[in-house]
């Protein structure tokens, strides 16, 4: 999928008043995603969540947003801006997951900055920057020009990001996301080092995709006679004889 829907939302206050109560009524644990255009925006959003009920177990800080104070570059493209935003969001008083962009030269550096700023976990990855051009009209297919690529095509990008951050920063929890549509896709992210997995684009084709992925993972794990899928987490890094990947263009 290539999208440019932007970041919509009713705002934290309206969300707390109208959207959260029905979620809480389901008994589900809730992770709330916040974003901003300035560090102050993030701080305000986080502070407004300080009194949220305990079912709000974590706050995901989406850093893939233009920083209007820094020539419109994205927060997630800068280690210092990422750290600054994480520090500013401590007021929510619950674990924060830094949602990072794969569109960077050194994702490990950004993940490290998020951890320094107080992130308990990183969510990897947001969409990959893409574009489509309509050859008939000779203009952009999406109104905004570029867009974010997601779904099956970005799954290997997510696996690589999770893998490399897990290898470099053991101990930092990772939530894997990108192109998960089947149980095996989730297993791949767990093997790369994710402790949890999210399902995004697949829900557009099938709103029950997360439940289907979970069921697929359960069936697959059962066939492997696995006691718990937690044994998968990071297992690829523990493989005996796993060759040090020479990071050349050829191996990429």
Ligand X SMILES: Cc1cc2nc3c(=O)[nH]c(=O)nc-3n(C[C@H](O)[C@H](O)[C@H](O)COP(=O)(O)O)c2cc1C
Question: What positions carry a catalytic annotation?
Answer: 65
- The answer to the question of residue 180 lying near ligand X (CB under 6 A) is yes
Contacting ligand X (CB under 6 A), which of 36, 176, 179, 216?
Answer: 179
Q: Which stretch binds ligand X (CB under 6 A): 101-109, 110-118, 175-183, 225-233?
A: 175-183
By C-beta, is 38 or 226 nearer to ligand X? 38
Closest-CB residue for ligand X? 200
| Binding segment toward ligand X, per CB under 6 A, in 75-83, 133-141, 194-202, 236-244 | 194-202
3-state secondary structure of 29: coil
CB closer to ligand X, 61 vs 79: 61
To the nearest whole angstrom, how small is the minimum distance from the Cβ of residue 181 to ligand X?
A: 8
**Which residue bears the tokens 């951890």?**
115
Number of residues that bind ligand X (CB under 6 A): 19
Beta bridge partners of 66: 74
Q: Which of 157, 214, 154, 227 is nearest to 187 (CA)?
A: 214
Burial of 82 (0-12, 13-18, 19+ CB in 10 A): buried
Across the chain, how many H-helices and E-strands are there? 9, 13
Nearest distance in Å: CB 150, ligand X: 3
Token pair, residue 117, equals 């700023």
142 vs 168 by CB, closer to ligand X: 142
Exactly one of 177, 189, 221, 236 binds ligand X (CB under 6 A); that residue is 177
Our finding on whether 178 is near ligand X (CB under 6 A) is yes
Q: Which of residues 109-168 bind ligand X (CB under 6 A)?
A: 126-127, 150-151, 154
Which CB atom, from 57 or from 245, has the smaller least distance to ligand X? 57
User: Locate tokens 């500013």: which residue?
Assistant: 88
**Residue 61 binds ligand X (CB under 6 A):** no
- Choices 130-138, 164-172, 173-181, 240-248; region in contact with ligand X by CB under 6 A: 173-181
Q: For 84-104, give one letter per residue: b (16+ CB within 10 A) or e.
A: bbbebbeebebebbbbbbbbb
Subset of residues 76 to 115 that bind ligand X, contact rule: CB under 6 A: 99
| Strands 73-74 and 66-67, bridge-based pairing | antiparallel
CB 48 within 8 A of CB 9: no
Helix ranges (DSSP H) in 36-182: 39-48, 79-88, 107-116, 155-168
Contact status, residue 165 vs residue 122, Cβ threshold 8 Å: yes
Closest-CA residue to 233 (of 196, 191, 189, 197): 191
Question: Min. distance of Cβ 248 from ligand X in angstroms?
Answer: 27
Could you say which of 36, 117, 176, 200 contacts ligand X (CB under 6 A)? Answer: 200
What is the binding site for ligand X (CB under 6 A)?
1, 3, 5, 7, 33, 62, 99, 126-127, 150-151, 154, 177-180, 199-201
């Amino acid at each position: 999928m290539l999208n440019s829907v932007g970041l919509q939302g009713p705002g934290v206050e309206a969300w707390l008043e109208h959207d959260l109560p029905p979620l809480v009524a389901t008994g589900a644990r809730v992770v709330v995603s916040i974003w901003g255009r300035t560090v102050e925006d993030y701080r305000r959003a986080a502070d407004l969540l300080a009194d949220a009920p305990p079912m709000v177990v974590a706050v995901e800080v989406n850093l893939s947003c233009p920083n209007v104070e820094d020539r419109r570059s994205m927060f997630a493209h800068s280690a210092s801006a990422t750290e600054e935003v994480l520090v500013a969001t401590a007021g929510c008083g619950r674990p924060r997951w830094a949602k990072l962009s794969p569109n960077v030269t050194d994702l490990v550096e950004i993940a490290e900055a998020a951890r320094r700023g107080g992130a308990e976990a990183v969510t990897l990855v947001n969409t990959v920057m893409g574009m489509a051009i309509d050859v008939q009209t000779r203009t952009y297919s999406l109104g905004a020009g570029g867009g974010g690529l997601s779904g099956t095509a970005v799954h290997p990008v997510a696996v690589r990001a999770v893998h490399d951050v897990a290898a470099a920063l053991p101990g930092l929890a990772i939530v894997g996301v990108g192109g998960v549509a089947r149980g095996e896709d989730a297993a791949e992210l767990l093997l790369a080092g994710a402790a949890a997995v999210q399902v995004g684009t697949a829900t557009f084709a099938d709103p029950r995709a997360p439940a289907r992925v979970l069921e697929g993972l359960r069936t697959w794990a059962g066939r492997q006679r696995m006691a718990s899928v937690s044994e998968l987490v990071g297992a690829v890094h523990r493989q005996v004889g796993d060759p040090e990947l020479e990071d050349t263009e050829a191996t990429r």
